[in-house]
Structure 1
Amino acid sequence: MTKHMTGLHHVTAISGPPQANVDFFTKLMDQRLVKKTVNFDDPGTYHLYYGNRTADPGTILTFFPFVGAAPGRAGSGTASAYGYSIGASVLDHWAEEVRAKGARVSDPVERFGQSVVTVTDPDGAAVELIAEPGDHGPAEGGFHSTTLWLDDIGPTQRLLVDHMGYEEVGHEASGKGERLRLQAPGDARGTIVDLYREDGAARARQGAGSIHHVAFRALDDADQLDWRDRMIAAGMQVTPVIDRQYFNAIYFREPGGVLFEIATDPPGFTRDEPLESLGQSLKLPKKYEGMRNRIEQALPRIDT
């Protein structure tokens, strides 16, 4: 039996100035700011993490908020959307409340028998709310899915099905494209990956409002190393393990060009601050702690 992924660990995106990003996700989308740290490669830029109240894998959305970022563009060769699970009984009410607070909210559409509403974030990115049984909000439900926009679905489909244990569970065609739904076995959050293709689509452009990478879950270090061996055997060019403070990570480009990460569940976000005060203080990687005063002076102020 093919080993299968558990589901999504996190999604990382790029935004413009951080204050608008924090306001949107904490005040409109009811996410908790669970970690305020800096970009490992650019300590003059925040790395902000949002999630549910207990910062569980499968609920984590992170941003690099570059103050001067040019607008990005969704298109082929990127993860183009992420979707939160929301209770069907509260979707309409939730959408109306968010619209009343000034966000742009689409009318519902049906996708694979589920109602989908899209909320546009301050940088123009699509935040999908996908109805499932229950009365939970998006923070409690965590991720439902992510969408990969590809020129050719086939190679990515084969990687996910043959080597990562996903199963084909649906296909929908439209006049200009198609969407193939894959799902990992089990009842974890974020088990669905949609592969989307559109005739004549332009290539994606990275910038504010674009997704940087999609991260899948490894249960621990040993599981991650096993996945690394499996991805190398599948022909992927995989990085060594990299310590990201709250998880260990490996990265590779899947055949359609989307950056994939496999991240460990431990040690988690309570490694350097207690659960009740997550996200309240600026946390720095050890290599930057000696530069704290300079970094704090360079970072824009955020009102949380």
Structure 2
Amino acid sequence: MEKIRGIHHISAMVGDLENVLQFYREILNLRLVKQTVNFDDRTGYHLYFGSQSAPLSSLMTFFPQQNKTGIKGTGQVGKIAFKIPTNQLDYWKNRLKSFGIKYKEGKWSQFKALYISDYDQLELALVASAEVSNIADIQGFHGLSIYSSHPRASKEFLETKMGFIAVKEDENYHYLAISGDKQEELLIEKELLEAGAWGAGTVHHVAWSLTDEKEERDWRKYLIKNGRDVTILRDRKYFKSIYFREPGQVIFEMATQVPGLTVDETKESLGKSLQLPQKYESRRKEIENRLPRLN
């Protein structure tokens, strides 16, 4: 099997639209690179953010306007870790303070990190693991943690079936290196929580990056052969996707790198106007009238 290329995107459910824009665009200085709708529910936005240095990869996406608060628990992604330059921790401390965002200093694996929460209480970390740089911007994902219902079964599956590399474990986590060249990490929380419930403040899924549709079809056959219940291929316009749950019940997606975000916008104009899948174009005016305007 071809190895996955790392994290393609992470998708979270959040509440107030303006809070999402302020926190991720203004405070974390991520770039809004796509405004579209939930392809399975056209009544709500699906917003994509990328780093300023690599806006076409390492995407953080959101389904805002959720009308109930979620419950964090097993079967969900836990913490989301962003990568910052090793020499820019003080910059980020000062920046967070200037916006009134509380942080806790700690470590993610062997790296220094700042732990924060967004306005919906999504758990985030700024991990000082990128190369020294005069530019303080987030460089992409460092990794994530998951709340598994069966931590050891999740570890075994990720290691033996998905090509992740077991690095170490301690009393709190199993530490795995994610395949690919980005040096990303996945931590499996050992603490067993109650089952989670979807809503604002929870992460719906993590998507792993594959090159193209052929690789995805090969992975689908392989996963089914290894006991996973896998969806059919779904066309998300910017990538093709399949979905399944790993043994700990966390939702995994496999997403292709092609055709990419520039299939309907130039790189320079990314995120500046509402983009729709073809199936919704005939209802564009209705959709635009229903959605709140982005500031």
Fold match (TM-score > 0.5):
yes
Aligned residues: 292
Q: Give, in whole Å, the separation in 1 of the partners of 2:99 and 2:87.
A: 20
Correspondence for 1:111: 108
Q: Give, in whole Å, the separation in 1 of the partners of 2:136 and 2:280.
A: 36
Q: Give, in whole Å, the separation in 2 of the partners of 1:4 and 1:171.
A: 23
Q: Structure 2-normalised TM-score?
A: 0.94
Deviation at 1:112, TM superposition (A): 2.2
Deviation at 1:67, TM superposition (A): 4.6
Correspondence for 1:122: 119
Q: Give, in whole Å, the separation in 1 of the partners of 2:144 and 2:8.
A: 11
- Structure 1 residue identity aligned to 2:25: T
- Structure 1 residue identity aligned to 2:18: Q
Matched, 1:167 2:189: no
Correspondence for 1:151: 149
Q: Which of 185, 196, 205 does residue 192 from structure 1 map onto?
A: 185
Q: Describe the superposition over 1:14-43 as per-residue Cα deviations: whole angstroms up to 9, x where unpaired.
A: 010211101110111110000000011211
CA contact (8 A) 1:159 1:234 kept: no
- Structure 2 residue identity aligned to 1:56: L
Q: SS at the partner of 2:170?
A: strand
Correspondence for 2:229: 237
Deviation at 1:243, TM superposition (A): 0.2
- Structure 2 residue identity aligned to 1:226: D
CA contact (8 A) 2:150 2:247 kept: no
Q: Give, in whole Å, the separation in 2 of the partners of 1:302 and 1:260.
A: 29
Q: Describe the superposition over 1:261-281 as per-residue Cα deviations: whole angstroms up to 9, x where unpaired.
A: 000001010110111010000
**Paired residues for 1:36-185 under 5 Å:** 36-53=35-52, 54-57=54-57, 59-68=58-67, 70-106=68-104, 108-132=105-129, 133-135=131-133, 137-139=136-138, 141-173=139-171, 178-185=172-179
Q: Structure 1-normalised TM-score?
A: 0.92
Change (3 A) 1:231 1:138: farther
Unaligned runs of 5+ residues in structure 2 are: none
CA contact (8 A) 1:4 1:166 kept: no
Q: Which of 200, 204, 216 does residue 208 from structure 1 map onto?
A: 200
Correspondence for 1:269: 261
Q: Describe the superposition over 1:129-154 as per-residue Cα deviations: whole angstroms up to 9, x where unpaired.
A: 11114235453x10010111123211
Unaligned runs of 5+ residues in structure 1 are: none
Q: Give, in whole Å, the separation in 1 of the partners of 2:99 and 2:177.
A: 34
Q: Give, in whole Å, the separation in 2 of the partners of 1:234 and 1:49.
A: 32
Deviation at 1:100, TM superposition (A): 1.4
Q: SS at the partner of 1:207?
A: coil
Identity of aligned residues (%): 35
Correspondence for 2:28: 29
Deviation at 1:111, TM superposition (A): 3.3
Deviation at 1:202, TM superposition (A): 2.4
Deviation at 1:207, TM superposition (A): 0.8
- Structure 1 residue identity aligned to 2:118: D
Change (3 A) 1:153 1:118: same
- Structure 2 residue identity aligned to 1:220: D
